[in-house]
Structure formats: C-alpha cells, structure tokens
Homo-oligomer: A and B are copies of this chain.
Amino acid sequence: MLTKEGSWINECQTLLQRLEIQGMSDNQLSQFRQSIDNIDAALIHMLAERFRITKAVGRYKAEVGMAPADPDREQEQIKRLRKLAEEAGLDPEFSEKFLRFVIDEVIHHHERIAEEPR
C-alpha cells in the first residue's frame, strides 16, 4: 500500500502524462492546421489565376458574340475532373460540385462582361 506521499506522486505522474499526450495531440492538430493553411493559400492563388484567364475568355466571347456558357465544354471538364478526382482519392461527386461552383461564378463574370457598354 502506498503512503500518502507516494499516492500524491503517482497522481502527479498520471497528470503529467495526460498533459504530455494532450500537448502532443495539440501539437499534431496545429501541424495539420498549418498544412491546411498552406494548401488554402495555394488554392486561393490558383483560383485567382483561373479567374484571370476566364475573364480574358469572357472578353473574347463577348467580342465574337459567343454565349457565356458552353455546356459541351462543361461536360468534358466534369468527366475529366471526376477521373482525376478518383485517381487522387477525392470524392468525384465533390469534384463535380466544386467545378459547378467555380463555373457558376465564371458565367456570372461572363454575363457581366457581356452586359458592359462597348
């Protein structure tokens, strides 16, 4: 049987172990979040560049009188991205939702460009 002092030391050790494990886990969570933040910065810059290009496409389409949306091209893009998503271990449904989300914004830009007075 432990003395009162021995029991107190044991409790302290258990508490320290818990704090250490918690500290390690918090450190792990912080590591994960740093990776997420780096990926998000890359995503934002990629999206910025994508919209720079699609805005140029929008100006071209408005000049030659092409429709802002192009359903055939969109179907090709969806098919290709679903395949890429599967290969990369990303849910293909999500990749399609994502492309739709981005294309909706692009078409919105194209419509605004087409409406601008020339």
Chain A residues in the interface with B (C-beta under 8 A): 25, 28-29, 32-33, 35-37, 39-54, 56-57, 60, 64, 73, 77, 80-81, 84-85, 88-91, 94-95, 98-99, 101, 105
Contacts and interface: CB of A to CB of B under 8 A. Distances in A.
Given A46-B42, A47-B98, A53 B32 contact: yes
A46 B53 contact: no
A42 B90 CA distance: 13
Contacts of A48: 85, 88-90
A2 to B, nearest CB: 30
Contacts of A29: 57, 60
A60 B28 contact: yes
